[in-house]
Structure 1
Amino acid sequence: MNYPRVRRTLILTFFLNLCVSLAKGIVGALAGSVSMVADAVHSLFDSVSNIVGLISIYVADAPPPDPPRHQYGHGKFETIGTMVVGGTLLLITAVVVGYEGFGRFFSGAVPDIQPLTVAVMVVTIGVNITITLYERRVGREENSSFLLADSQHTASDILVSLSVLGGFAFVCLGYPVADAIIALGIAVLIAKMGMEILYNALEVLADASAPMDYDRIDVIMQTTAGVYSYHDFRCRGGKPGEIFCDLHVVVDPEITVREAHLIGNRVRDRMKAEVEGGVVDVMVHIDPFFGNAGPAEAEKDNGDDRIQR
């Protein structure tokens, strides 16, 4: 991964997201639109997300200390920061926005919809579309899971902003309560996003199984010379470049330790090179095959050496 390029992308999107948030917040406050202010707060968390990304990229790109203290890398520091943002800041924001929406619902205050208000929303939607497409392109080119996820987060901003414009339309048609109702809907959306971020972060911290292409793993085992079968396959990690795997590989019991070691190395190297998802390391445990069958029949005749996912 080209860390400097990812860092530059995050810095650029941070300032763009901050400008979008300030524009929505100032104009929304002047117009008295609680839904627009809620959307501004939602946009502000895009900037917070960029800060989390910058910190994680800095930690990931930093040279390891000698001796290394975190021998499995620093990836979970990003997860911890993400959990704080999703589990604390987003949920608090959802409560505040919901409270404001309820207050506006019962007060009956009507936002002042002006051409400037609509213009700001349209311009910020255009900026968010540009940010989403740019982050997605760089994320795919650099295989950056954070940029891809952040582009999806920004894309949710577009939907929220469109809903705010819809609320403006209902206000102009004589339904001022729509502004408060849409603010409550935005609060629910922010709370849902926070809960999803919190859940995904906890899954990573709890070493949940990483998504893997098991069919490709089967092919690698079937075509690697010297491998009779494999079992007890496990993996953990939340994103590319942080996935660790371990498995048991069954080999001929008559070969030397050196030959078995080389087979294990071939399995490790092929999994790191051929399995999509960013496998960073594979721990291979060598098991001897107990039986008289040849390699083609070893797996079906040896009941303990089954493929386990």
Structure 2
Amino acid sequence: MEYDRVRRTLWVILILNVIVAVAKAVFGLMAGSMSMVADALHSSFDSASNIIGLAATGIAARPPDRDHPYGHAKFETFGTLLVGGMLLLTAYWVISEGVVRLTTGAVPHITALTVGVMVATTVINIFVALYERRVGEELRSSFLIADSEHTKSDVFVSLSVLLGFAVVYLGYPLADPLIALAIGALIGRMGLSIIREAGMVLTDAATVQCEENVREIVARIRGVLGSHEFRCRGAPGEMMADIHITVDPGMTVEEAHGIAEEVEAAITEGVPGMKEVVVHIEPGERDGREKI
């Protein structure tokens, strides 16, 4: 993975997210809008996730060493896990504040400037989400893709705040804290989803289903009688796998090794995000049938 480009992308997005969060927080406090302040806090965690991403990808880019012979790629996933936990804490705070606002009955002061700030920051977030998603898919970066989903949810949250402004303007002030509660629930759901996906990678769950593709790739290689026990782990873009293949038992070690290298190269090239494949050689039957 091109970690340098991932980090450059995160720096650009961090600057934009800070601008968005500060604008929402300042004008939300001025207007006394709980939903806008909650949205600002949500946006601030976009910035926090960018900072964690910069630190995590910096470590993930390090080459394998004695203590980490398989590399440091999972540090990126660990950073994603931290973001998920922070989002759960944010959801708790937003929901608590929403409940308090319901009991006090405070009404936000909505102006054309407040609405303008929300519209402008929403447009910025749409650009950030599309840009980050495109780069994430191009580089197969699980962190950028997950973070783009985070930013996309911020867009929907901002739209819900604007809807709340409209309802409050029509004479229904309870809409503001109720929308804040909905925002808190959305942030909590997002945090749980991020934790679940990161947990799957860290526990070596199969995050990409590519068995059928691998079977077709191996079947096309001359000299392979059969294959079995394919296993794959790691995040999309940083996957490792191993597979058992059977060959003619009359082959020399050199010939069998050449086939194993061909299988490894074919799977690495044919499966997006596959970084390393270990091929185990087993003798098949002399009549060409795979050994069971």
Q: TM-score range by the shorter chain?
A: over 0.9
Please name the residue that 2:114 is paired with: 117
Contact 2:20-2:43 at 8 Å conserved across structures: yes
Write the deviation string for residues 105-132 of structure 1: whole angstroms up to 9, x where unpaired.
Answer: 1211111111111011001001111212
Query: 2:189 aligned to 183, 187, 192, which one?
Result: 192
Write the deviation string for residues 228-259 of structure 1: whole angstroms up to 9, x where unpaired.
Answer: 1111111100120x211011101111111221
Please name the residue that 2:34 is paired with: 34
Deviation at 1:45, TM superposition (A): 1.0
Contact 1:210-1:243 at 8 Å conserved across structures: no
Deviation at 1:144, TM superposition (A): 3.1
Contact 2:77-2:202 at 8 Å conserved across structures: yes
Q: Which amino acid aligns with 2:240?
A: F
Question: What CA distance in whole angstroms lies between the structure 2 residues aligned with 1:243 and 1:142?
Answer: 14
Question: What CA distance in whole angstroms lies between the structure 2 residues aligned with 1:157 and 1:140?
Answer: 20
Superposition pairs of residues 253-264 of structure 1, within 5 angstroms: 253-264=249-260
Contact 2:10-2:50 at 8 Å conserved across structures: yes
Please name the residue that 2:275 is paired with: 280
Please name the residue that 2:287 is paired with: 293
Taking a change above 3 Å as real, the CA distance of residues 140 and 85 of structure 1, as seen in their structure-2 partners, is: closer
Superposition pairs of residues 98-109 of structure 1, within 5 angstroms: 98-109=95-106
Please name the residue that 1:307 is paired with: none
Q: Is residue 2:145 matched to residue 1:148? A: yes
RMSD between superposed Cα atoms in Å = 1.6
Write the deviation string for residues 184-215 of structure 1: whole angstroms up to 9, x where unpaired.
Answer: 00000111111111111111111001313333
Q: Which amino acid aligns with 2:9?
A: T
Deviation at 1:133, TM superposition (A): 2.3
- Unpaired runs of at least 5, structure 1: 305-309
Superposition pairs of residues 197-212 of structure 1, within 5 angstroms: 197-212=194-209
Please name the residue that 1:62 is paired with: 62
Question: What CA distance in whole angstroms lies between the structure 2 residues aligned with 1:148 and 1:63?
Answer: 23
Q: SS at the partner of 1:7?
A: helix
Q: Which amino acid aligns with 1:16?
A: L
Question: What CA distance in whole angstroms lies between the structure 2 residues aligned with 1:207 and 1:121?
Answer: 41
Q: Which amino acid aligns with 1:246?
A: D
Superposition pairs of residues 167-182 of structure 1, within 5 angstroms: 167-182=164-179
Question: What CA distance in whole angstroms lies between the structure 2 residues aligned with 1:63 and 1:237?
Answer: 16
Compute the TM-score of the two structures, normalised by the length of structure 2. 0.95
Compute the TM-score of the two structures, normalised by the length of structure 1. 0.90
Deviation at 1:64, TM superposition (A): 4.7
Q: SS at the partner of 1:226?
A: coil
Superposition pairs of residues 65-144 of structure 1, within 5 angstroms: 65=65, 68-87=66-85, 89-144=86-141
Q: Which amino acid aligns with 1:285?
A: H
Question: What CA distance in whole angstroms lies between the structure 2 residues aligned with 1:36 and 1:262?
Answer: 62
Deviation at 1:293, TM superposition (A): 3.3
Q: SS at the partner of 1:280?
A: strand
Deviation at 1:134, TM superposition (A): 2.1
Q: Which amino acid aligns with 1:288?
A: P
Question: What CA distance in whole angstroms lies between the structure 1 residues aligned with 2:211 and 2:202?
Answer: 23
Q: SS at the partner of 2:275?
A: strand
Taking a change above 3 Å as real, the CA distance of residues 63 and 267 of structure 1, as seen in their structure-2 partners, is: closer
Write the deviation string for residues 30-74 of structure 1: whole angstroms up to 9, x where unpaired.
Answer: 111111111111111111111122112222333555xx3211111
Contact 2:39-2:157 at 8 Å conserved across structures: yes
Contact 2:60-2:74 at 8 Å conserved across structures: no
Superposition pairs of residues 152-171 of structure 1, within 5 angstroms: 152-171=149-168
Aligned residues: 292
Contact 2:140-2:236 at 8 Å conserved across structures: no
Which 10-residue stretch deviates more, 126-135 or 153-162?
A: 126-135
- Unpaired runs of at least 5, structure 2: none
Taking a change above 3 Å as real, the CA distance of residues 3 and 77 of structure 1, as seen in their structure-2 partners, is: closer
